[in-house]
Structure 1
Amino acid sequence: MKHLIMLIVFGLSLATHAQSNFNGTRLETYPIQIGWDKTTVLVFPHEVVSADFGSPAVLSEKDKIAPNVLKLKAGVRHFVPTSMYVITAAGKLYPFTVEFTENPDERPIDMGKQEEVEYVTTRLKGTAMNAADVSSVINELTQRTPEKLVWGKRSGRIRLGLGEIVEKDGLLFFQLVVENESWVDYLAQKWQFTVQDKRQAKRTAIRRVELEPISFSPFPGAEGKSKGVIVFAFSRFTIADAKEFAIQVFETNGDRNPMVRLSGKKLLQVNPILISNHN
């Protein structure tokens, strides 16, 4: 397999085609176009550990500096469309259908972002909103300064607060603020969302159910003596008076893990949607 270092040029259709295997399950196959004198670049969320091609006409190289980047080019012109299977270090399989074109799209593709769009689209079935609508609401809430915050308990001079809760077409959007009162930068590793029983008597088990957001905004963290805003979107839900909604963020390589708890009554106090171009 030849190694190539060329200019970045990309061709990928966002449309996906279902392909059935022997047991009836369906894998989504991404159609991709590659060229003769230009390089196509795929960016995966994890390191590429294996790439298999149905034809020697497809040439590839894993980037030496960024092992999650795969570079492709056609070894011959006008080859018969063929298959390509890429496996990452996370154990994820990405199937592609590869075709030749003289003029591939010049944009590289981020497969991680592509998966996020597909995930959101799948979770939005049954609502009037699409992925672009959700992104628009999230972006605007991220840029807003919360007028009032409900703060949770501090953890190592880090505290988590809830700003606005808005509802739109069956979705709830939560605006959260991470405040760093120390000089040590705060980097979030993961977020956890749990519907759980309120604190009860000792020796009584607390039942918990974890919820998964449909989408969320990027969150680089909170530098020393600063605040950071992040917005999460969920399918609309309510909880009983005996339960609470707990939101917790966990620090990367640290133990500053603040939490904020919301009652069922607070979840019902959603604001009317006041997002530009959204009625």
Structure 2
Amino acid sequence: MKNIHLILFTAFVLLTTVDLKAQGISKGAPQSIPASLLKISDQMTTNLIFPHAIKSVDRGNRNILVQKANAVENILQVKAEKSELPNSNLTVITEDGSFYSFALEYQEVPQNLNLKIQQAGNSDLADFGNQIQAESELEETARKVATKNRSMPAIRQRRFLTGIALTGIYIEKDLLYFQLRLENQTNIPYDIEQFRLFILDNRQSKRSASQELEQSPLLVYGDAARIPAESTQTLVVVLPKFTIPDQKHLKIELMEENGGRHLKIKVKNRHLMNAMQVD
């Protein structure tokens, strides 16, 4: 009987020790978040449908082409630039703070082209802190920027007596404010079909559209739907702070609905570096 009690006691001590050690490891060591395997092709586009709007995308290398689908914020389109794709990865963070990681491999004909991504668990949330201001604060700051005089040599394009010009870049609380002047010197109103901002390579491949990384404004202050006849107006676009990598630029584009007066300008990293504080 004593031997049985001794064995039971010893087993209890061992189990307790293992449990305590496991708790110590889980508290002190970083937890690994596994990456999901994603196979992509250079001939077919893979669509990733997220439960929330996409806030940030990071590619493992430049052989991976990504863009957000037009007119929606939660669909990411992914493609390989060429068939000789080294294994790489893709990281996506959505506006609710969810973190998604994908390990990428090349496959000529992927079996799954449209994937609905499940909501990330609470342990996979990124912390954005309190950097994003309330919309009322953004509007008040944007209003101030809209009334300022030009603070930089304008980056502009004019076509068919219409034009777009970037006349100021400002920063406040980790947010960039772009001051844009839109003009229409004709008697024909300019209805805006698309107003887009995206980062792309200076030197593009034949499938250049696939290399666009769209920037989603937190706020557009002003009328981004129409430039009335014989008018000039100001837009202020608010984006989370960013810089532009080497050999890339920010493209700001206006597309006219049912027309051909399309306008676009290029913004380089050196322009961002001269961003002014909002007084």
- TM-score of the pair, normalised by structure 1: 0.49
Computing the radius of gyration over CA atoms, which structure comes out larger, 1 or 2?
Answer: 2
- TM-score of the pair, normalised by structure 2: 0.49
Counting helix residues as a fraction of each chain, which structure ranks higher?
2
